[in-house]
Amino acid sequence: MMSISSKLNSTIARMIVSVLIAAFVFAPFAAQAEDKFPKLTPELMDKLNSSADMDWPHDPAVPELPPMPVTDNPAMDQNAFLWTHFNDNIYPPRIKGGVPEPRTRIVTETDPLEVSVFWSMRSPYSYLVLNRLVYLNSNYNVKLNIRPILPVAVRSTKGGSGKAGGLFGLAYKVPDAVWDTRRQGKYLGVPFNFPVPDPVWQVWNPGDKGPGPDNWLFTHPPEKQPYVFWVTRLACYAFLQGKSLDYINQVSYLIWSGVVHPNNPEAADDYAKGHWPNYVKEYMNRIDGLDYDEAIAYIRKNPEEVDQCWIDHAEGLGRTGHGGVPTMIIDGQDEPFFGGDRFDQFLWRLKQNGLTKRPAPIAPFTTKPLRWPDGL
């Protein structure tokens, strides 16, 4: 007959085995549940935005990367194009003649016009000019260099209170931008939907508060930003591989087109299917010559080289005298054409510099944009 102590030991042993089996069977499901990014609701956003001390929920789509370097916006350059050409009809410009001398060499496939576009992954207006830039590069003899930079709200990575800079000093710019970008997308025939989550974590919905930077309109500290440094570093890696146009053609489209969005029908029963960060790897891997896992490994191994890319581009933008994106220039001339609504003027200037058509389109391809300026 089994003793009481033996029965007790047997019972304890069975309980331990049961617990271990349950842990083995259910642990993956528990980890998956804990690792699932929550649905972003007004209530959750109110909680997250209640203080600059809050932390963004863990997003398993975002890999661990080295910390960002401490940088600041480039100082205003008095020798930048816009300042040396400044003419208010009282003080004469320091450089006379106005427009840079146009190119005189014949533009060919082997000797194209080189142009740069300073680009932010957070900029809806950058995205809204994307298909026109792709069409320009595909059909005309230009070498288009997409130069990724950080958006103005986090271009200074010093940390601190996280007050948004630049445009956000003007409260009306917030509702105007949200309304105007949707309208501009419809006008241009470009698919557009404001992304959820925003690539920059910031407070820009005042609710019932009076507008003003002291009670709303702030950006969470750079060290707590969950997305923008990740996708910008990937853009810089693509730039180093000569693939930045291909990268934005995939990943900016993913973020801003609404192709993956919580409001889409397929996300109704599965929020993960509307969460764009879950698809960055897939969209980047669509590009010949780029591999997402290789990119992440490279960034981890060479963070200084990758970060120097967006630092250099911010300084390059500063040499034009501008600070906004998208800004388009002809390399070597530095005359800035800021905003997608200046694309027609930019094309006009390219034609003054001898722009010619390619004998056949090159990749990446796109259909002719609805608002392509044929009259020029």
Task: Report the pLDDT value the prediction gives residue 170, as an integer from 0 to 100.
Answer: 59
Is 115 within 8 Å of 329 (Cβ atoms)?
yes
Q: Which residues, at least 6 apart from 34, have a Cβ–Cβ distance to it below 8 Å?
A: none
Q: What is the residue type of 232?
A: T
Q: Has residue 161 got a pLDDT over 50? A: no
Determine how many CB atoms are found less than 10 A away from the CB of residue 10: 11
Is 357 within 8 Å of 140 (Cβ atoms)?
yes
Task: Report the pLDDT value the prediction gives residue 154, as an integer from 0 to 100.
Answer: 86
Tokens 């929920």 correspond to 57
Q: Which of 94, 28, 123, 36 is nearest to 323 (CA)?
A: 123
Q: Which residues of 38-59 are buried (b: 16+ CB within 10 A; e: fewer)?
A: eebeeeebeebbeeeeeeeeeb
Q: Has residue 174 got a pLDDT over 90? A: no
**Phi and psi based region of residue 351 (left: phi greater than 0; alpha: psi -120 to 50; beta: remaining):** alpha
For residue 169, the SS3 value is helix
Tokens 């995939």 correspond to 250
Q: What is the spatial distance between Cα 105 and Cα 94, in angstroms, rounded to a whole number? A: 28
Full set of structural domains in the chain with CATH: 108-376 (3.40.30.10)
Q: What is the spatial distance between Cα 323 and Cα 317, in angstroms, rounded to a whole number? A: 6
Angle at alpha carbon of residue 223, lines to 54 and 154, rounded to 5°: 105
Q: Which residues, at least 6 apart from 68, have a Cβ–Cβ distance to it below 8 Å?
A: 157, 222, 223, 229, 307
Task: Report the pLDDT value the prediction gives residue 207, as an integer from 0 to 100.
Answer: 67
Q: What is the rounded average pLDDT of the residues 61-77? A: 90
> Directed axis angle between helix 292-301 and helix 228-240, to 10°?
100
Pairing of strands 337-338, 327-330: antiparallel
Share of the chain above pLDDT 90, in %: 71
> Directed axis angle between helix 130-139 and helix 343-352, to 10°?
20
Q: Please name every residue paired with 219 in a beta bridge, in sequence order, or none if there are none.
A: 202
Is 160 within 8 Å of 221 (Cβ atoms)?
yes
In what order do the strands lie in the sheet containing 327-330? 142-148, 113-119, 327-330, 337-338
Q: What is the DSSP letter of 265?
A: G
pTM of the model: 0.88
Bond into 326 cis (ω within 30) = yes
Q: Please name every residue paired with 163 in a beta bridge, in sequence order, or none if there are none.
A: 218
Q: What is the rounded average pLDDT of the residues 90-118? A: 94
Task: Report the pLDDT value the prediction gives residue 175, as an integer from 0 to 100.
Answer: 83
Of the two residues 216 and 8, the one the predictor is more confident about is 216
65, 68, 69, 71: CA torsion to nearest 10: 160
Q: What is the spatial distance between Cα 173 and Cα 178, in angstroms, rounded to a whole number? A: 9
Length of the chain as a residue count: 376
pLDDT-derived band at 66 (thresholds 50, 70, 90) equals very high
> Directed axis angle between helix 244-256 and helix 130-139, to 10°?
150
Q: Has residue 168 got a pLDDT over 60? A: no
pLDDT-derived band at 98 (thresholds 50, 70, 90) equals confident
**How far are the Cα atoms of 113, 134, 190, 251, 320 from residue 366, in angstroms, in the given order?**
20, 7, 12, 15, 29
**What would the pLDDT profile of 245-288 be if each residue is shown by its tens digit?**
999 999 999 999 999 999 999 999 999 999 999 999 999 999 99
Average pLDDT, the chain: 87
Task: Report the pLDDT value the prediction gives residue 273, as an integer from 0 to 100.
Answer: 96
Bond into 303 cis (ω within 30) = no
Q: What is the spatial distance between Cα 248 and Cα 120, in angstroms, rounded to a whole number? A: 10
What is the 3-state composition of the chain as percent helix, strand, coil, each rounded to the nearest 5?
Answer: 45, 5, 50
Whole-angstrom Cα Rg for the chain:
25
